[in-house]
Amino acid sequence: MESSAAGVPPPAAAEMAPDPFRELSRLWWLWLIFGIFWILVALVVLQFDQASVTTVGVLVGAMFLASSAQQFALGTIASGATKVILWIFALLFVVAGVISLIRPKETFAGIADILGFLFLLVGVFWTVQAFVERDSNDLWWLGLISGIAMIIVAFWTAGQFFITRVYTLLVFAGIWALFHGVGDIVKAFQLRKLREP
C-alpha cells in the first residue's frame, strides 16, 4: 500500500507495461527485408548510365513507396503523436512515390537540381539518428560516419554543374541505397538481439 501511495506502481503493473524496444524487436525481420531491398536497388542504380534517367526516376518512386511502407509499419506499433507523425510522413512518401512514377524524367531532373540540399538533409538526419541510437545500438558510429560523409558530399555536390550533378545523382543514389540497406540490416540484427532474455 505504501508504494502505491508514494506514486510507485506495484510490481505486477510494472511488469505488464509494454517495453517499446521489445515490441519493436518482434518485427526485426521487416528491417532485414527492407535492407536487402535497398541493397538490390543500389546494385541496379550503380550500373546505370545517362540513358537510364527514366529508370532511375521510377526507382526513386519505388524508394519513396518502400519508405512509405516502412513508416506505416512503424506507425502501427507507435503511439500518440509519434504514430500521427509517422503516418503523415508515410502519406507524403506515397504522394511523392506516385508523382515520381507518373513523371520519372522530371523527377530525376528535379532531384538532380536540388541534390546538394537533399544530401545535406540526409546527412544531418543520419548524424542525429546515430547519436539518438547510441545507447541501444553498438554500431551507432556507422551511422555517424555515413552522416558526416553525406554532409561532405552535399557541399561538394552543391558547387557542380547540372550535367555533373546528373552523373553524381546516379552514383550517389546507389551509394545512398547501399548505406540505407546496410543500416537496416544492422538494425534488424540489433533488434533481434533484444528478443533474447
Whether the CB-CB separation of 172 and 119 falls below 8 Å is answered with: yes
What is the mean pLDDT of the segment spanning 142-146? 88
pTM over 0.85: no
196 vs 37: which has the higher pLDDT: 37
Residue bearing cell 524508394: 63
List, as one string, the DSSP characters of 147-181: HHHHHHHHHHHHTS-HHHHHHHHHHHHHHHHHHHH
C-alpha distance across the termini of the chain, in Å: 30
Cα(55)–Cα(41) distance, integer angstroms: 11
Query: What pLDDT, on a 0 to 100 scale, did the predictor assign at position 44?
Result: 76
What is the mean pLDDT of the segment spanning 171-179? 80
Give the lowest-confidence range in 12-26, 40-54, 128-142, 146-160. Answer: 12-26
Query: What pLDDT, on a 0 to 100 scale, did the predictor assign at position 48?
Result: 64
Cα(54)–Cα(44) distance, integer angstroms: 13
Cα(71)–Cα(91) distance, integer angstroms: 9
Q: Chain-centre distance of CA 17, in angstroms?
A: 28
- Whether 18 shows a pLDDT value over 60: the answer reads no
Cα(9)–Cα(134) distance, integer angstroms: 29
Cα(146)–Cα(60) distance, integer angstroms: 20
Query: What pLDDT, on a 0 to 100 scale, did the predictor assign at position 89?
Result: 86
Cα(62)–Cα(38) distance, integer angstroms: 10
